[in-house]
C-alpha cells in the first residue's frame, strides 16, 4: 500500500527573526494542513530549506512534525544527503521515530554514477526500516535517476517503493512505468504536471502549490481518481498561472512570501536565498488573488 495517495505538501520551514526554527508557526501549519485537505506532510525537503539546516535542526524538525501529525496525516521525512553515511544516520533516526516514509534526494554536487545510486539507495534502505521514495531532480542536483535504475531498485530492495519524479521529462516517466510494470509509487515533483503523471499511473504529487492551495491540489488528484478527468484537468490548467509565479524565482523564495501574503508569515529565508523582488511579488499577489486564495 502506498505511503499516501493524493497531494502531499512539501511544507515550508518557518523561521524566527534570528533564523531559528519557529515551532509555534510550524505547529499552526501542521494544523492548517490537517484541516484543509492535504493528504501527507513532507518535512525537511527542498521547500523546507533543509540544505541550510544543521543535522540537529533537521531531525528535531522531523520529530516535531511526526509528534504533531501522527494519526492525522502520514509524515514523509526528507533525509537525503550527498554523503551516504549521513543519509543512513538521518534516515535511521527518522524511521525509528515513526516516519511513515522517507524522501531521499539523489546525492548532489559529488553526484554519482547509476551504479553509485544503486549502492547509495541500497545502503540507506538496508539500515532504515521505513518505505523509501527516491527523489529525482537533476535540475538541482545534477544527478538523474535513469528509468532502468529506478526499476532495478524497486524490484531488488523491498522498502524502496517509489519515486518523486521532477525531471519534467514525461518520456522518462513513461519509461519508468513501463520498466516497473506500474509497480512503483510514482509522485509528480512538478505542480504543473500533476494530471499528466496521474494519467501514467502516479499516486499523487509532492507539492509546493499545496502550501497555499491545499484543497485545490488535493482536488486535482481526487477528481482524477474518481473519474472526473475533465474536472481534474480544468483545475490543473486554472492553477498554471499561480504555479508559474510560485516558481518565478528559485523555490522556496516565492512560496514563503505567498504564505506571508496569506497572513501566515513564515519568517526569513536562510542565505544564500534572498527575498523576492518587488516586481515578482506583485505578479505573485495578482496570481494568488486571481486563483481565489484568501489574502491577509
Which residues have a catalytic role annotated? Answer: 135, 164
Q: Which three cell numbers stand for residue 163?
A: 519515486
- According to CATH, the topology of domain 6-230 is TIM Barrel (3.20.20)
Is residue 60 within 8 Å of residue 26, measured between CB atoms? Answer: no
- CA dist 201 and 195 (Å) reads 10
Residue 183's closest CA among 162, 198, 204, 205?
162
CA distance 13 to 193: 24
The cell for 281 is: 511579488
Q: Which three cell numbers stand for residue 72?
A: 492525522
pLDDT digits (tens, 9 = 90+) for 170-208: 999 999 999 999 999 999 999 999 999 999 999 999 999
pLDDT in tens, 7-53: 999 999 999 999 999 999 999 999 999 999 999 999 999 999 999 99
Please give the pLDDT value at position 1: 83
Amino acid at each position: 500500500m502506498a505511503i499516501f495517495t493524493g497531494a502531499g505538501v512539501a511544507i515550508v520551514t518557518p523561521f524566527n527573526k534570528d533564523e531559528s526554527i519557529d515551532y509555534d508557526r510550524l505547529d499552526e501549519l501542521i494544523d492548517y494542513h490537517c484541516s484543509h485537505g492535504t493528504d501527507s506532510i513532507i518535512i525537511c525537503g527542498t521547500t523546507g530549506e533543509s540544505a541550510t539546516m544543521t543535522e540537529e535542526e533537521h531531525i528535531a524538525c522531523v520529530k516535531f512534525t511526526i509528534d504533531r501529525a501522527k494519526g492525522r496525516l502520514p509524515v514523509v521525512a526528507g533525509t537525503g544527503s550527498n554523503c551516504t553515511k549521513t543519509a543512513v544516520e538521518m534516515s535511521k533516526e527518522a524511521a525509528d521515530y515513526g516516519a511513515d516514509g522517507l524522501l531521499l534526494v539523489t546525492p548532489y554536487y559529488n553526484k554519482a554514477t547509476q551504479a553509485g545510486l544503486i549502492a547509495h539507495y541500497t545502503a540507506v534502505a538496508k539500515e532504515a526500516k521505513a518505505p523509501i521514495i527516491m527523489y529525482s531532480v537533476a535540475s538541482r542536483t545534477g544527478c538523474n535517476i535513469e528509468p532502468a535504475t529506478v526499476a532495478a531498485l524497486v524490484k531488488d530492495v523491498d522498502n524502496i517503493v517509489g519515486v518523486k519524479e521532477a525531471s519534467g521529462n514525461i518520456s522518462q516517466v513513461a519509461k519508468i512505468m513501463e520498466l516497473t510494470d506500474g509497480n512503483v509509487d510514482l509522485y509528480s515533483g512538478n505542480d504543473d504536471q500533476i494530471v499528466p503523471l496521474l494519467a501514467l499511473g502516479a499516486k499523487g504529487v509532492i507539492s509546493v502549490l499545496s502550501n497555499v492551495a491545499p484543497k485545490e491540489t488535493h482536488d486535482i488528484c481526487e477528481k482524477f481518481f474518481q473519474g472526473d478527468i475533465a474536472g481534474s484537468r480544468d483545475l490543473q490548467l486554472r492553477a498554471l498561472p499561480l504555479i508559474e509565479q510560485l516558481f518565478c524565482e528559485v523555490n522556496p523564495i516565492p512560496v514563503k512570501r505567498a504564505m506571508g501574503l496569506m497572513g501566515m508569515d513564515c519568517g526569513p529565508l536562510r542565505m544564500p536565498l534572498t527575498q523576492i523582488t518587488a516586481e515578482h511579488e506583485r505578479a505573485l499577489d495578482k496570481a494568488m488573488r486571481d486563483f481565489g486564495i484568501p489574502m491577509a
